[in-house]
Structure 1
Amino acid sequence: MARAHLSFPSNAVANQLVAGVPAAVRAGIALKERAALAEGDSVLIAASDGWSPSEWSKSEFARLLPTNGVEAFEPPARASQKTVETIDAIELLCGRHSASPQKALRALGADILKATGKPSDGLVSRYLNRPISRSITRVLLKIPGVTPIHATGLAAFTGLLMAAALLFDGAQGLIAGALLFHAASVIDGVDGEIARATMRSSQFGAKLDTITDGITNLAFLCFASLNLYWQGDTGGASYGAIGLGILAIGLTALGLRSVAMGGPFTFDAVKNNFRARPSKITSFLAAITSRDVYAAIFALTFVLGFAREMLLIFACATAIWLVTVLAVLVRTSARQS
């Protein structure tokens, strides 16, 4: 069984979190990516003051390098240094030796976090939401044990605050609820950033995130309509109710089609159809109907006092969307038959 020897300048540096993952673990992963560590090989780690893995380091080694043993070792005496090839872990991770390992690892963490954006990010997400969500992610990733589920919980809690504001605080609550709806959209990016930075992406996490988003979206529209109704604006409340009804019909049709096709209950038929036939129009429609865009628009219009008008636009947009959904379902059904 082969052994790879990694050397850190101190125990604190070896256990330092780099975008949520201890530096020692990232160094082990780097060895594996460079084919310098095979399945079953051991990672031996040395530090000038002796390496003592933190509980989080142990947990992350078990998760990310489950087939590789890991243990501390004492660097050999200078006279026998040639007998063991020791790899400078900071140079391995950062591409160069640094006089300030902590600073070099922080810069590496910043680069990892910067790479967590999505190619599909629109203008609102790229220039408004991502800078804020990354700041939140940067803080959370300094906490040992933080995972995407914690960020999903934070987004859900923001959604609860949104609902409370809309239900119990009248006209001021309408504005606060809209701002919290946008805040939930911003925080929604945090769980994905944590997942990608810490290599924790999963189908379960993606489904949970989607469910949380859907509930938050529906709660906002429903409670915003109720808020207007309680304020005496029956017209604005009616627009919201009509839009919600149309949305429910379309989503039900999509879900039933997916089940009829033998798949899970999903709402992606129209999205998949557009992806299969990309064009400038479909790309534009996808951009303006993404959550980051419509959450920002709702927040802006509600703050400016145009909640009624925005719900009217929403009702009209859902009507157009329903026509599109039905057209896609009829066309795909005819094609399959």
Structure 2
Amino acid sequence: MARAVLLFSSNMHANRLVAGVPAAVRAALALCQSEEFASSDAMIVAVPGRWEATPWARSEFARLLPDVRIAIGDPYEGILPEDSPVLDAISVLSGVPVILTNREAVQQWLGEQEHESAQIAKLNAVSSGIVKATGKPSDGLVSRTLNRPISRAISQVLLKFPGITPIHATGLAAFTAILMAVCLLFGGANGLVAGALLFHAASVIDGVDGEIARATMRSSEFGAKLDTITDGITNLAFLSLASLNLYWQGQVQAATYGAIGLALLAIGLTALGLRSISMGGPFTFDAVKNNFNARPSKITNALAAITSRDVYAAIFAVTFALGFAEWMLLIFMGSVGIWLMTVLIVLMETRARRS
């Protein structure tokens, strides 16, 4: 079939990152995913003066469209194939493709593309829409109302840099966890509050790697596993170091609550991790959550909501900042005890079903 021509008014527009992926690559991918051009094995990116693809654009074409040959054209040189449909590339990205039916229409279109700001605004709107769609149906109340707006804003900034990948966001979350640990170890009473706030910040930033992965089509089993491990280490580090901080301050009772709760949590997570490995699927600690999701009810939905990371990280941040660390750790110890019993029951039930 005839190859399509994606027409940009400038190199800046063709190479501009739209949620981390160059606009030319996203437009070509959108066409390949459409019914009309799904079988096309070649496309032309046309830019006045010829397209100068950045190294990042070339690498993204190779990653996302390995089987599609990309040619370069110049609408002013008059060498575009006569039988190829010419499309306004930015309109393709916007979801309402505009086809320029003849050479005169192409020349008229080029003459109308004088307002750079209008084109950039369209590309920014497409980028924002892509990032906005990266939320997950399983997001809890805190995540939807507080965490996601912040994490999306961070993702929007990071996705403006060529070469950004989910691993960079995971590294940012890990760096936040390290700052949290430093505050808890060396900050005394003020460090306890700062550490709790950074624990919540790590929970917010934890959403960034998934958003970048979904926005740039880089989701992977390895990334999900790394994210799970990072979350688990951060959770355990906060609880253990917060308890140690309180012990050093002389709040032995509070530290004891935290230590017992931490021990119970470690037992449960170890059991879940070993079961996940033995089943041979993706490494996860979500066996209990998945079991409840399979048998939904108001009670199980409420339990899942209040035990999600976004909720308990926010609760720890607020209660520690208000000076209720001991009460929070007492509640934590009791809650983990109930959770551990639930974990053991669920694991025994699933083992019995498998047998």
* TM-score, normalization by structure 1: 0.94
Query: 1:242-261 to 2 correspondence within 5 Å?
Result: 242-259=260-277, 261=279
Q: 1:79 to 1:335 in 2, by over 3 A?
A: closer
**Counterpart-to-counterpart distance in 1, 2:290 and 2:81:** 59
> 2:23 matched to 1:5?
no
Q: Which moved more, 1:2-11 or 1:276-285?
A: 2-11
Per-residue deviation at 1:48?
1.8
Per-residue deviation at 1:254?
2.7
Quick one: percent identity of the two aligned structures? 67
Report what 1:74 is aligned to. 74
Report what 1:85 is aligned to. 85
1:274-306 per-residue CA deviation (whole Å, 9 max, x = no partner) reads 121111111111110000000000000000001
Report what 1:63 is aligned to. 63
SS in 1 for 2:45: strand
Q: Considering only aligned residues, what root-mean-square deviation do their CA atoms show, in Å? A: 2.1
Q: Which moved more, 1:311-320 or 1:73-82?
A: 73-82
Per-residue deviation at 1:101?
1.5
Match of 2:347 among 303, 323, 329: 329
**Counterpart-to-counterpart distance in 2, 1:270 and 1:301:** 26
**Counterpart-to-counterpart distance in 2, 1:82 and 1:252:** 65
Match of 1:155 among 170, 173, 183: 173
Report what 1:111 is aligned to. 129
1:96-142 per-residue CA deviation (whole Å, 9 max, x = no partner) reads 66862211111111111111111111111111111111111111111
**Counterpart-to-counterpart distance in 2, 1:182 and 1:140:** 20
Report what 2:328 is aligned to. 310
SS in 1 for 2:71: strand
**Counterpart-to-counterpart distance in 2, 1:66 and 1:296:** 43
Q: Conserved in 1, the CA contact under 8 Å of 2:4 and 2:44?
A: yes
Task: Identify unmatched segments of 5+ residues in structure 2.
Answer: 99-112
> 2:43 matched to 1:25?
no
Per-residue deviation at 1:328?
1.9
**Counterpart-to-counterpart distance in 2, 1:23 and 1:329:** 48
Q: 1:172 to 1:66 in 2, by over 3 A?
A: same
Match of 1:268 among 273, 281, 286: 286
Report what 2:158 is aligned to. 140
Q: 1:245 to 1:171 in 2, by over 3 A?
A: same
1:121-171 per-residue CA deviation (whole Å, 9 max, x = no partner) reads 111111111111111111111111111100000000000000000000100
Q: What code does the residue aligned with 2:217 have?
A: M
Q: 1:138 to 1:15 in 2, by over 3 A?
A: same
Per-residue deviation at 1:263?
5.5
Q: Conserved in 1, the CA contact under 8 Å of 2:5 and 2:43?
A: yes
* TM-score, normalization by structure 2: 0.89
Q: Conserved in 2, the CA contact under 8 Å of 1:39 and 1:67?
A: no
Match of 2:199 among 155, 167, 181: 181
**Counterpart-to-counterpart distance in 2, 1:134 and 1:258:** 30
Q: 1:70 to 1:154 in 2, by over 3 A?
A: same
Match of 1:224 among 239, 242, 245: 242
SS in 2 for 1:50: coil
Q: Conserved in 1, the CA contact under 8 Å of 2:276 and 2:285?
A: yes
Q: Conserved in 1, the CA contact under 8 Å of 2:50 and 2:72?
A: yes
Per-residue deviation at 1:11?
0.9
Task: Identify unmatched segments of 5+ residues in structure 1.
Answer: none
Report what 2:34 is aligned to. 34
Report what 1:236 is aligned to. 254
Q: 1:78 to 1:53 in 2, by over 3 A?
A: closer
1:219-276 per-residue CA deviation (whole Å, 9 max, x = no partner) reads 0000000000000111011000000111122222333444555667643332222121
